[in-house]
Structures are given as structure tokens and as C-alpha cells.
Structure 1
Amino acid sequence: MAASPGENRVITRSHTRKAKEQLNNTEDRLSSFFYSLPRYGRSQKLRNSRPSHSNDEKKLDTNMFESYLEDLWNSISEEKRSSYTYLDCLWFSLHKKGLAKENVLKWIKKKQIFSRKYVFIPIVCWRHWSLLIFCNFGEKRPSNTKRPCMLLLDSLQQADPGKLEPDIRRFVLDIYGAEARKEKEAVISKIPLFIPKVPQQRNGEECGIFVLYFIYLFVQNAPTSFSLDGYPYFLKEDWFAPDDLESFRKKIHSFECSKNIESDTRQQRHLGGSDLYGLTPECREAVSSSESQNVVTKKEWALVPGSNGMIVDIQ
């Protein structure tokens, strides 16, 4: 019997913490919101325009990725949450590096992937994000057209996503072995791996956003039964428009901003210090009103509430 969605969320949160302890050096840490705000004595100027998307924006780190994915997952229907699941974004890397491999396989076993229609496996490897999807792994009566297969979605085809195949094959083989499945190794090794041509990123910093958007759209449009006859379905180069991705990106960065503020505020209070110590009056106002306004922050920007939505540009 499959675990309930609530139990799956608890499993994911618990194992995410364990995975991060094992692979701490692979994470990109986001800059602290408070350290990015201007202090007295530093030069600053006001501008009347909001910052536009920059190619210099940092990639999503694993903390923020998992946090947003969990939030996204909670928004889908109960029916889909019971028949789909996702793995922690560090588990594949841990397995690939041979770190805590036995624990990783135990954690995956608790996700009961052989009772699911689709399993989403975010992969972060070589500082690049891609998405592996298991289809029909829970199929009890496979046929020529309806049988287990895998999809590897990569927004940077020039990075040669096919080079991950040996690691993916070992990963899948170990999962079957840990579950004591009856399928023979020769059969498991022949599970098809497809790499569809999906929309491509425009710079080197967008891969994490693309993976989240792949999951978001796939969950919405996935066929009830994935058939090889229907492949590639919607998985094409024109799957979505750049404007749609841009809207999704803005939601991600807004979510990222709010999480950073919450995290840093809790840390400051835990240390017994004032959250607003040393900040300019404008920034104190921005932080104080963050719960009631959409505060937009970046590495070099802080929103100052006002009639024109003015921005502090940190020099």
C-alpha cells in the first residue's frame, strides 16, 4: 500500500536533511538578505525602476529547490500525489559518488516507486540540473507499448546529457536489487532511456528553473498511461513559450526572496540580536513590512516600499 502524501512529505523532509549533511559541499549557498542590504556609511542611490532579470543571477541551491518543489507538490491534486512521487535532489548524486549508498536505497524504498505511475528524480551533477522521470515502473502487466521507460529532460543539450546514462543504469539496477524485484539484470538494463528535445536555456544559470518548470508542466499534462506509441507527446522544442517560463521564474524568485527573509529573521532572533541593527531607515522599513508586501530582493537589490516602488541600488 502506498504511503499517504503527508507521510511522503515527512519522509522527504527528513531524508533531505540527512542527504544535505552527506553532500554539504555540493550546495550553492544563497547570500544572506541582511548582508546584502546597505549599511550606514556605504554609498547608495535610488532608482525608480525595478531590476530586470539578469544573467548574473545565481543558480537555485538545493535548499531552495527542495523548498519550492515541496510547495509545488502540495498544490497538485490528491489523486496525482498518490500516484506520482519525487526523490530528493541529492539522492542521485549521493549514489553516484558512492556516499551513503545503502541509506539512499533505503530512503528510495520508502517512496514505493513501484506503485507509482511517474517518479521525478531531479539531478544536480557537474553544477548543472536535469530531470530524470521513471514511467510505468509500477506497471504490473507490461506490454510492448506500455512498459517501464525513462525520460531525461535537459535544458542544455550541448552539455551532452547522454553521458549520465551509465550512472542512471547503475542507479536503476541498484534500486531493483534493493527492492528484491524478480526482473533479471538483462531486462532491467534494457529499459529504454529517451532524451527528448525540450526547450533550451539561454544562459548558464537557468537550469534549476527549467527543471522545476518541467515538473510543473509534466504533472499537469502527463497522460494517464504513458505509451511508447505516443512518445514524445508534448515533450518537444516548442513545449512552452519563453514568456510562460519568465512568469514562472518571477514566482520562483519571489518565493526565494520570502524564504531568505524568513530564514535570516529567524537566525537573527535566535542569536538574540536585532534583525534591523545597522540598517538604513528605508531598509528597516522594507524588512518590517515584508510580511504584508511582496518584497523583492536580489544579491544587489532591496525593495523600499513607496508610491513608486523605488529600489535601493547597493554600490
Structure 2
Amino acid sequence: MITRQAAKSLQAARESAPSSYDSFTQYKYSKRIRNRRHTNSSKKLDSNLFESLLEHLWSRTPEDKRSSCVYLDCLWFSLYKDGLTKTKVLSWIKKKQIFSKRHIFVPIVCWSHWSLLILCHFGEKRQSRTRRPFMLLLDSLHQIDPKRLEPDIRRFVLDIYKTEGREENEEFVSNIPLLVPKVPQQTNGEECGTFVLYFINLFMLDSPNTEEECLCFLNENWFKLDELESFREEIHSSLKSRSQSIVDVELPEDQHSS
């Protein structure tokens, strides 16, 4: 539960970083309200629309593909990074039981830009020689230097380990490889959120298991831009149809437009 004091701090933060905290007051609302409000096909995604699209994408992915994965809410990293309700964010992550999953998707929205952090094999034992933990940072705009997030990412990961009561220390976390492969790049300033969703979609459908496989699998020719456009239209259309169905069921008959 978000306290009133934390909510006020977030409201103030939104004024200086609207892309990160654009609709945080909606965070506590139900998924149905969130889905009902965001049915447009705008290319630029705010956090509520992004989360609704991600939830829908997750629900339509085959169970055998998503069973080994988990995703974190798209605002959690930003809240952690800015120190707002940091302890609470870590407690939310603990409830996700992320160490039981092979891949953990962490959508990041910072500096008015979306990118995707993937934590791989974090549940493996430290002594394992076959699969060791590594991280992927997928960014559709390399010219802004995605590596500038690395200090915050490593602090984030270290605190997750500590919250879980695990034995991994700062030295261990500092040695976890952080790979930034050359993935397809956006052509304008509005596509980064959709790129992140498509990264998640493609990764789940054919996820690599090792660092070497990742470097071969994830490259600048990973997909074509026309495929991205088709994906965008498909998920927006599907979400709109599903949201309309929810409205039809929930609203009394005399509240429907004629």
C-alpha cells in the first residue's frame, strides 16, 4: 500500500520528470480501470498504457514460453533510482519470487526514454559453471549511452540480493556481466516504449540461455521495422477490443452511448 506521504512525494516528482511519473496516481487502481482508460493507438506510451499493453502481451503469450519469466512494474526501477519508497519497491520485488525464474524483465523509463533490462539466471548457484548470472540492457537509442544506467542497475541488483537474504555481495554483483547488444534502433523519438514491448515479446518466444547465444541472437538485424509496426497495430487493436468488452460488461445499459 502506497502511503499518502509517498504519494505526495511522487506527485512532486512528476512535475520534474513527467515521463517517469506520468500517471502514478493511477497505480493503485484496478487493471480494469487502467485498461478501460487507455485504448488509443498513440505511438508514444505513458506508464499506464505501457503497463496495460504489457499485461495484455503477457496474457496472450503461450504458458510454456512465459512460465520461466517474470516482469516487474515499469515504474519500480525509477522509484528505486530516485529513492522514493525504495524499501517498499524492494519488498514488492521480493513478493515476485524472481529467483525462481530464468529471465526477469525490468522495463526502465528514465530521462524521457524507455529501455529494457533483463536479469538472466539469477537463481543459479554461485558455483554453477554452466549457467552464471548475466544482464542484458536492450536500448533502441544507443546514441544516448545506455551504459550510464550501469551504476544504478548494479546498486538495484545488490539491494535485491540483500533483501532476499542471499549471500551474494558487492564484489559478486560488480562482476556480473552487463551486455549491451546492438539491437535494432528507433527512427524517431516516440517509438522506444513499443520497442521495449517488442523486445520482451521476441525474447520470450525464442529466449537464449547463455551469454554467447545472446550475442548471436540479439543483434541489429533482430527484426525489421515493418514487423514492429505490425506488432504495434496488433496489440493496440487487441487491447482496445478487450477493453471495450470490459466496458460493455461493467457499465449499466443506460450509460452506453447510443
What is the TM-score normalised by the length of structure 2? Answer: 0.79
| 3-state DSSP of counterpart to 2:107 | strand
Higher helix content, 1 or 2: 2
Q: Is 2:150 the partner of 1:165?
A: yes
CA separation in 2, counterparts of 1:159 and 1:20?
Answer: 30
Relative to structure 1, the CA distance from residue 76 to residue 259 in structure 2 (aligned partners, 3 Å threshold; closer, same or farther) is closer
How many Å apart are 1:78 and its aligned residue? 2.6
How many Å apart are 1:77 and its aligned residue? 2.9
20-29 vs 158-167, which moves further: 20-29
How many Å apart are 1:144 and its aligned residue? 4.9
103-112 vs 143-152, which moves further: 143-152
Q: Is 2:232 the partner of 1:249?
A: yes
Asked which structure has the greater RCO (Cα within 8 Å, sep 6+), the reply is: 1
CA separation in 1, counterparts of 2:192 and 2:83?
Answer: 25
CA separation in 1, counterparts of 2:66 and 2:163?
Answer: 24
Gap regions ≥5 residues in structure 2: 15-19, 24-40
CA separation in 1, counterparts of 2:47 and 2:62?
Answer: 25
How many Å apart are 1:261 and its aligned residue? 6.2
Match of 2:36 in 1: none
| 3-state DSSP of counterpart to 1:237 | coil
Quick one: which amino acid aligns to residue 174 of structure 2? S
Q: Match for 1:83 among 59, 62, 68? A: 68
How many Å apart are 1:260 and its aligned residue? 7.4
How many Å apart are 1:71 and its aligned residue? 1.3
CA separation in 2, counterparts of 1:203 and 1:78?
Answer: 34
Match of 2:92 in 1: 107
How many aligned residue pairs are there?
231
Query: Deviation above 6 Å: which 4+ runs of structure 1?
Result: 19-22, 259-267
How many Å apart are 1:188 and its aligned residue? 1.3
Match of 2:217 in 1: 234
Match of 2:26 in 1: none
1:186-197 to structure 2, matched below 5 A, reads 186-197=171-182
How many Å apart are 1:82 and its aligned residue? 3.0
What is the TM-score normalised by the length of structure 1? Answer: 0.65
How many Å apart are 1:251 and its aligned residue? 1.7
Match of 1:97 in 2: 82
CA separation in 1, counterparts of 2:141 and 2:192?
Answer: 8
How many Å apart are 1:227 and its aligned residue? 1.7
Relative to structure 1, the CA distance from residue 66 to residue 275 in structure 2 (aligned partners, 3 Å threshold; closer, same or farther) is same
- RMSD across aligned positions (CA): 3.0
Relative to structure 1, the CA distance from residue 21 to residue 249 in structure 2 (aligned partners, 3 Å threshold; closer, same or farther) is farther
Relative to structure 1, the CA distance from residue 186 to residue 141 in structure 2 (aligned partners, 3 Å threshold; closer, same or farther) is closer
